Amino acid sequence: MVTSYEVISLDHLAEHMICLSTASSFWFSLNSSYDHEFHLSKRLGLTPQDYEFLLVAADLALFHKRFGFSIKPMKWKVFLEGHRFTTINCDRTFEVDDKKVDLNALMKGKPPKHRMKVNFIRIGVLYDNSPRKIEMQKDSDGLMIVTPPRLNGLRLKQQSFRQCVEQSKWNYLLEKEDEDDEDDKDDGEDDKDGIDVDKEDNATSSNITLLMSR
């Protein structure tokens, strides 16, 4: 079931990404190091915590107790091909891809040694010389381009987006608390009736606590 905070989070994200798509095409990382300038969180103007919170609330990622923060590639594809982007009049403004790459080697122009799976998203207007793959996003020296193209009014857009994300984050927390309370009541009723209930770890509550503590 699609929740209200999920819809709101997707709406805010889509609106902001449409603004970002007016710049030249550029490949951003969805889940590499937050220190990378080409990480999507930097373009969105979000802290790592708020970035993860937003994507989890929008069901574009999950936070696993064992494996940590993980992107949902198929959810991203459905999101980008959905109704929120149908009014955009440009060729393939968005696309997602995953690659096994050695980002450190790409940035230094050296042969890869330690490849890791990374999810990427391409945002912006495609021109004849636009790189169609992340490994083609290089400068004349063969080094990976790590600085996204300039976009007028980006700081103001980021500030407005952060305010929307903050509101969505608390809506997400409040609804999750209500759901957890209902689950606790149901468990209590089952115990009273003498029903043997296998209680699983509440992954969502643990994830919220983990994210808020960062």
pTM confidence score: 0.79
pLDDT, one tens digit per residue, over 3-59 is 677 888 899 999 999 999 999 999 999 999 999 999 999 999 999 999 998 999 899
Could you give the CA distance from residue 39 to residue 120 in angstroms, rounded to a whole number? 9
Crossing angle (nearest 10°) for helices 48-57 and 203-212? 160
Q: Is 197 left (phi over 0), alpha (psi -120 to 50) or beta?
A: beta
Q: Which residues make Cβ contacts (< 8 Å) with residue 19, sequence separation at least 6?
A: 151, 157
Spans of all domains in the chain: 4-162
pLDDT, one tens digit per residue, over 91-149 is 568 999 999 999 999 999 889 999 999 999 999 999 999 999 999 999 988 899 999 99
